[in-house]
Structure 1
Amino acid sequence: MQPTVPIVSEVRKFNRFYTKVLGLLNQQVYDSPFSLTETRILFEINSTSNCTAKFLQEELDLDRGYVSRILKRYEELDIIFKQKGKEDGRTYYIHLTEKGKIIYHDLETKAEQQIKSLLKNVDPEEQQNLIKSMRTIEITLSDFIKQDKSSITIRDEYTEEDKELIIEKQRAFYSENYGFDENFLDYLHDSFEGKIKKIWIAEDKGKFAGCVGLVEDNETTALLRWFIVDPSIRGKGVGTQLVQTLLNYCKEQQYKRVYLWTVSSLPVARQLYAKFGFIITETKEEQLLWGQRIVEERWDLELN
Structure 2
Amino acid sequence: MIILLNISNEERIQAVRHFNRFITRHIGALREGLLHSPYSLTESRILFEIANNDNPTASNLTQQMGLDAGYLSRILAQFEEKGLLYKERSLKDARQRILKLTAEGVKAYAKLNERSNIEIAELLRELSDSEQQQLINAMKTVEGLISKNESFTFSGPYFLRQHEPGDMGWVVHKHGILYSQEYGWDESFEALVSQIVADFINNYNPKRERCWIAEMNGEIVGSIFVVEGSADTAKLRLLIVDPKARGVGLGSQLVEECINFSRRAGYKKLVLWTNSILKEARHIYQKKGFILVDEEKHHSFGQDLVGETWELLL
TM range (shorter): 0.5 to 0.7
Query: CA separation of 1:273/1:150 partners in 2, compared to 1, >3 Å: closer, same or farther?
Result: closer
**Identity %, equivalent residues:** 32
Query: CA separation of 1:15/1:292 partners in 2, compared to 1, >3 Å: closer, same or farther?
Result: farther
* Structure 1 counterpart of 2:261, from 237, 246, 249: 249
Q: In the alignment, which residue of structure 2 is the partner of 1:51?
A: none
Pairing 1:114-193 to 2, within 5 Å after superposition: 151-156=157-162, 158-192=163-197, 193=199
Pairing 1:231-250 to 2, within 5 Å after superposition: 231-250=243-262
Pairing 1:6-155 to 2, within 5 Å after superposition: 9-12=78-81, 151-155=157-161
- CA distance in 2: counterparts of 1:230 and 1:216, whole angstroms: 26
- CA distance in 2: counterparts of 1:18 and 1:204, whole angstroms: 17
Query: CA separation of 1:233/1:246 partners in 2, compared to 1, >3 Å: closer, same or farther?
Result: same
Whether 1:216 aligns to 2:242 is no
Residue 202 of structure 1: CA displacement? 1.2
Query: CA separation of 1:169/1:60 partners in 2, compared to 1, >3 Å: closer, same or farther?
Result: farther
8 Å contact 2:79–2:85 — kept in the other structure?
A: no
8 Å contact 2:224–2:238 — kept in the other structure?
A: yes
Residue 4 of structure 1: CA displacement? 5.1
8 Å contact 1:209–1:238 — kept in the other structure?
A: no
User: Structure 1: any 5+ residue segments left out of the alignment?
Assistant: 23-58, 62-132, 138-148
Q: In the alignment, which residue of structure 2 is the partner of 1:291?
A: 302
Query: CA separation of 1:215/1:208 partners in 2, compared to 1, >3 Å: closer, same or farther?
Result: same
Asked which structure has the greater CA Rg, the reply is 2
Q: In the alignment, which residue of structure 1 is the partner of 2:280?
A: 268
Residue 232 of structure 1: CA displacement? 0.8
Q: In the alignment, which residue of structure 1 is the partner of 2:241?
A: 229
Residue 160 of structure 1: CA displacement? 3.5
TM-score by length of 1: 0.52
Whether 1:207 aligns to 2:216 is no
- CA distance in 1: counterparts of 2:214 and 2:247, whole angstroms: 14
Query: CA separation of 1:225/1:150 partners in 2, compared to 1, >3 Å: closer, same or farther?
Result: closer
Whether 1:300 aligns to 2:311 is yes
Query: CA separation of 1:252/1:289 partners in 2, compared to 1, >3 Å: closer, same or farther?
Result: same
Query: CA separation of 1:183/1:234 partners in 2, compared to 1, >3 Å: closer, same or farther?
Result: same
Residue 268 of structure 1: CA displacement? 0.8
- CA distance in 2: counterparts of 1:13 and 1:234, whole angstroms: 34
TM-score by length of 2: 0.51
RMSD, aligned CA: 3.3
Residue 199 of structure 1: CA displacement? 0.2
Letter in 2 for 1:182: E
Q: Deviations for 1:105-149, whole angstroms, at most 9, x for unmatched residues?
A: xxxxxxxxxxxxxxxxxxxxxxxxxxxx9xxx9xxxxxxxxxxx9
User: Structure 2: any 5+ residue segments left out of the alignment?
Assistant: 1-43, 49-74, 96-101, 107-154
Q: Deviations for 1:12-51, whole angstroms, at most 9, x for unmatched residues?
A: 55699989xx9xxxxxxxxxxxxxxxxxxxxxxxxxxxxx
